[in-house]
Structure formats: structure tokens, C-alpha cells
Amino acid sequence: MDGVSRLTAAMLRGDFHTLGAHWDGEGVNFALFSANAERVDLCLFDPEGRVEIARHTLPDKTHDIWHGYLPGLAPGALYAYRVHGPYSPQAGHRFNHHKLLLDPYARLLQGAFRWHDAHFGYRRDDPGQDLSFDERDNAGYMPKCVVTAPVSTQGLAAAPARPSIPWHRTVLYETHVRGFTYRHPELPELARGTFAGLGHAEIIAYLKALGVTSIELLPVQAFVDEHFLYEKKLRNYWGYNTLGFFAPHSAYLSDRDVLEFRRMVDDFHAAGLEVILDVVYNHSGESNHLGPTLSFRGIDNASYYRLQAGKARYYVNDTGCGNTLNITHPRVLQLVMDSLRYWSGEMGVDGFRFDLATVLARDEHGFDSQAAFFHALGQDPQLARVKLIAEPWDIGPGGYQLGHFPAPWSEWNDNYRDTVRRFWRQEPGQLPTLARRLHGSSDIFEHAGRRPSASINYVTSHDGFTLRDLVSYRHRHNEANGEKNNDGHRENFSDNFGVEGPSDDPAVETARSRQQRNMLATLLVSQGVPMLLAGDELGRSQQGNNNAYCQDNEINWLDWERLGPEGAELRAFVSRLLWIRRQYPVLSHRHYIHQPAAAGEESIRWLNSDGREMRDEHWQEHHNFLLGYWLTGNDRASVLVVFNNGSEQEQFLLPSLTGAHNESWQCLLDSRFATGEPASPRVAAAQAVAIGERSVAIFSNDGGNGETRKP
């Protein structure tokens, strides 16, 4: 045992009901699921995590859960497992007790993961590859699990009330803990790139002033770099390679305190802002059959992963990441549910965005909208109250499932993204589809009785071009990723206005700036839930990289100090748009509204340039780029949005306001101007108004009270 003591007599049977390591004030109970293991050893380490100081065999197994209790052990203790069993890849078993394994339920990890060939369960230099067996110990290169005390016992101040923002009032802001804060000049240096930095008063004040309601964080659960990135000296920046579903990513903690995340959430809640987590329960960071043995693979490969029928050596790869978690297994489903309850309960999170969510509802027959995963969430008294967002696709057969998730789920709507991009790129024939997307994509969601909030509308996200790059590049420029520019989306529906990349031509820059404003305006007047990509409101560029998942550098970090007057103007434009969306509820209906409507009821109308209803033949005019989008509330308040994507200025006849106290329209925003503030705020009804080329104008009748509202 190389000096490691075996103290089995000191370990009691313990309890199997609660998985993980749990301190009860007098000792720690350990419980680990493995249906196929023959023995499980608990390894304890010194405070630095370098020396194994004791090893205990878990003394009992109940319902496939190995468990034991150590009296006297306290929070802060470091541990991991070694699991004994057959190494038989052809039969789906990959046990290797020479590999130190992380507890899937660990709440905190200490120490950095370091790549080494000892992590692989097989000899990489053997011609038989994973059919061989490797006896090297990887403990020196692994982080260690930390026993933590329950959050409720750690002296936190009383948690502020959760904002509980209704879906129809939600505005999402997708960002990255490290990239958003790492270069912020007003943050303490040690807080940059961490949860403490994200929860800093400067960041919260910025988000409040902008007008968003909910911050959506790229993965914050513990993750590792893929081996192929390590070999290229690159990093997994986005974090979609999870190793632990309970532990926060250690690099985002400024002081190795798991409560740092909870304090950040409390700070957001105190400011009335929600926190949504992007979570990855479709695969793990152990990759394919040639990947490392770090946790699930060595604990019970045949239970945790979906294996190919008749070829159990290989994994089902519906994720494109090498493996697929077996959510249909009751204990794996329990793992996911326990993890979600932990983050929403003890950590206070308000909702989740599920990466490749189609995987979670797959069985042997494919995607099922009535899958056990959906029912488990729906019946859970805690999780049924949080916001649930699906990325509604994977790469498996029948993987694209936009519109097929059950209520109350919302879904990333890439159809919305592509339609808005194609319309503003002046592709012919886009008006009918654009109208459907402005309407909240009722053609996709309403058939199942769902609401406009089922559609998460976005023009850009972490995956793809930033808004600035969308108007600056026709082609992707991903050379820095080391894949010869073959990765990332091939078709981006982008435009460069005649110059690929940065330009010093004032005409090009003017066109690009206006196009950014046009797409932002379209997004924020659409029915459904808008999502902004962090930095788009400041003109952030990724140098044309549309797949910057592995760039932990200036390509991804938001450089706050270099953003000049143009960034400030664009931010003011977005703030103005968000003010308009808050002030005029007709822009965010709870339910789908259709025409015609009786007098005094909510209505939506589509107008042509003469201010009259669009007729069938108008929708078929493929080179018509002018559209009026007129919304009326049951209080007679109206908002009229006019889109002109033509290359010439057009006249648009503002409709009359029969029955209103005020027979004029107030222009709230004009995208021709940098901050959106219009040159002529008040325009008479039933009069023609000039709508600039490639622009958006927003008008309101102020609910008939004749007052001019100002943001």
C-alpha cells in the first residue's frame, strides 16, 4: 500500500439514501452508485491533496449503492475513489482501480486537473489501444473532492427574495464568467474572471442600466480541456466538457470557497436580476472509447453511458463529443435531478438552459416529447418552478426538434436567428417568414398550445459570429483553432459591406453600425423572449472567429477599456430599445394575438407602404423589403414598427388613430441615428413619413393620452 493505512475497522456501514459525501456534524457518510463494481475504496488525502493518508473499503452495498460512514471526519477533508471490477471493453466494463476517480456528487474540487497518459485506462502505445490495460496511478494529476458543509450551516446572510420575473417580461443576457469580467478596469484584480467579479456592484449596475432581466451563464460546473486541445496548447473556454455536475469550476472561484457562487446569486437577486445556468447533462468530459478514465467510466461505464448495441466497446455519440450519458437509467436520471435541485435550491439559481437537450429525451426509438426526463422535472415541486430552456437539437437521427418540447419549456429558436439575418442581408422573399418570427413563431409553437415565450429569439449567441462580426465578415476566420478553418458554421447569412474584416472606409463603417442597430431593433420588438449576447451592445469582435470555444484570450475577453464612443452609442441604443419594450406591453404579449380583432381588443396587423393591410399578393412580392408591424393593446395603446430593408428611402403612410384622443404618432426610435433618438419625435397620423433606407422606425400613440414619453 506504499505507506497508506487501511482502516476498514473505523468505517461504519452508513446510509445509502443520500449519494455523495455528507457531513452530519459528527462524521461523513459516503455513498456511490455502481451496479457492476466488485469493490469500492475511499481514498483520503492530506490538506494539500498530494499524499494519500488513508484508504477505506466501503463496507456495504444496498440497491447498487456502495456506502460507509467515517466518524470524526469533517468538512475540508479531501477524498476520491478507486473502483474495482472487470476491465472488459467488449462487454462495456472499464474498471481500473489504478485510476483515482472523482465522486460525481462532489460539491467542490481542490487542485488543478493536469493531462498525463496515466489518466487513460489503457496503454496508449499498445497496438490494441483500449483493449490493453494500464497500471499507472494518475492520482498526482487529479484534483481531489472536498467534503463540504451544508450551505444552510455556513452562516450566510438571509437570502434576498428571488425576482420571479414572468417569461413575457424576461430579457436574457448570455455571457461568460471569465470573459466578461477579466479585463474590467473597475474590478479588484483578484476578482476578475471569477464569480466574485461577476457579482461585483460595477457589473450589476451595468446590467441594470442596460435593462436586461436575467443573466445566462455559459457552463460553470467543473469542466476539463479535451486532450486534443491540450496537445494543441489550447483551452476549452466555453466549458461544454463537464467533469462534475455539482462542483463549480475551480478557476472561477477567487478563494476556493464554494459559497462564492451563492453570494454572487444573492447579489443578483438583491438587484432584481435572475441567474440562468447553461448546463451539460448530455455527455461528460471523458470523450469516446479512447478517452481518459476520470469518473463515470471507471465507476460504472455500462450504467452511466449509452453503448452501441452489439458493440459495447463503443459509445453512442448523439452529442458529437464522443459519448452520451444514459439518462434512461434511473440512477443517471437521479444524478441529473439531484444536480438540478442542488443548483436551484442550495445555490439559488432561477433556471437552466440545457445544452443539446434533445439527448435528454431520447430512448432506443429516438426523441420522445413525453420522455421520463420531462415528467421528472414537471412533477418536482422545486424544479417545476424554474425557467427551463432547451437547445432543441443534437446530431443523432431525428435530432432537430425545434417546437416539439412540452410546456413549460422554452427553446432556442435558430429559425428566428437565420430569418432575421437573411432579411437584413436583403435576400428576396423573406417578408412572410419575418412576420412569423416577429409574431413569436406561432407556426412553430402555437399548435401545441404554447405561448410566445416558448421562443427564445436571438440573432447571435456564444456559438457563431458576434453582432459586429456578423456585419464585418462574409466568411469564418477560425485559423486560430488549429483545424485549418474547417470548424464552425459554414453558412452564417452574414455580410461585410464590401470589405472583409476591419475597414477605415467611413461609408462601410456607417453601414455596418446601422445594420447592427437594425438587427437589435428587430430582436427587441419581436414577440417571444429576446436574448442578447454579451458585448454585442458594445460592438465586441472575435476577429471573425465563429467557433471561439477554445480561445481563452483576447479573441473572447471583453476589452472594456478599448471600447470607444461607438460602443457607448450602441449601448445607449440598446438601453433605449429595452426601455421601449418595458414601457409598451404590446411588444411582449403573454398569448398569441391574431387579426382581425373586435374593437377594444388586442390586435396585430401587417401594413404595406400605404398604411393598409397587407394583401396576399403583397406577401408574394419577393423584392419588397418594406413592412409595417402594428400592435394594439386592449387599452388602445398602439406601437407601430416600420421595417425598410430596401436600398432607397421609402414613404410610409402612418395609419389614422380613429377613436384616440390624440391624432398623432410619437416616433420613439429611428435606427438611422446612433443612439436611436429620432430627429422628429411627433408625426401627424394619416400622413406620409420618410423611412430611411435599411432602417427601422418605431412609433407609438402613447395610449391616446397625447404625452411624449422619453427613455
Place of cell 472487470: 86
Of 32, 132, 29, the closest CA to residue 84 belongs to 32
Q: How far apart are the C-alpha atoms of 42 and 52, rounded to whole Å?
A: 10
Enumerate the H helices of 471-564 as residue ranges.
506-525
Do 405 and 369 contact (CB within 8 A), yes or no? Answer: yes
Identify the DSSP state of 583: H
Q: What are phi and psi of 344, to 5 degrees?
A: -80, -30
Residue 470, amino acid: L
Cell readout for 667 is 416616433
The active-site residue out of 134, 391, 414, 650 is 391
Of 288, 270, 254, the closest CA to residue 161 belongs to 270
HSE-CB at 96 with a 13 A cutoff on CA atoms is 30
Of 108, 86, 10, 685, the closest CA to residue 346 belongs to 108
CA dihedral of residues 653, 658, 664, 667 (deg, nearest 10)? -60
The DSSP-derived string for 423-452 is HHTT-TT-HHHHHHHHTT-HHHHGGGT--G
CA dihedral of residues 68, 71, 75, 80 (deg, nearest 10)? -30
Based on the residue annotation, tell me whether 391 is a catalytic residue of this protein.
yes
Q: How far apart are the C-alpha atoms of 121 and 136, rounded to whole Å?
A: 9
The active-site residue out of 266, 286, 350, 355 is 355
Beta-sheet pairing, 5-6 with 52-57: parallel
Do 354 and 391 contact (CB within 8 A), yes or no? Answer: yes
Do 395 and 358 contact (CB within 8 A), yes or no? Answer: no
Quick one: how far is CA 23 from the chain centroid?
A: 32
Cell readout for 429 is 422573399
Of 80, 93, 222, 58, the closest CA to residue 139 belongs to 80
Beta-sheet pairing, 307-308 with 626-632: unpaired
Q: How far apart are the C-alpha atoms of 443 and 452, rounded to whole Å?
A: 11
Neighbours of 706 (CB within 10 A): 14
Q: How far apart are the C-alpha atoms of 218 and 677, rounded to whole Å?
A: 33
Based on the residue annotation, tell me whether 41 is a catalytic residue of this protein.
no
Place of cell 461528460: 284
In degrees, to the nearest 5, what angle opens at C-alpha 219 toward C-alphas 483 and 522? 85
Cell readout for 77 is 477533508
Q: How far apart are the C-alpha atoms of 378 and 380, rounded to whole Å?
A: 6
Enumerate the H helices of 100-222 as residue ranges.
177-181, 195-198, 201-210
Q: What are phi and psi of 54, to 5 degrees?
A: -165, 155
Query: Residue 331 is inside which H or E element, if any?
Result: helix 330-345
Catalytic residues: 355, 391
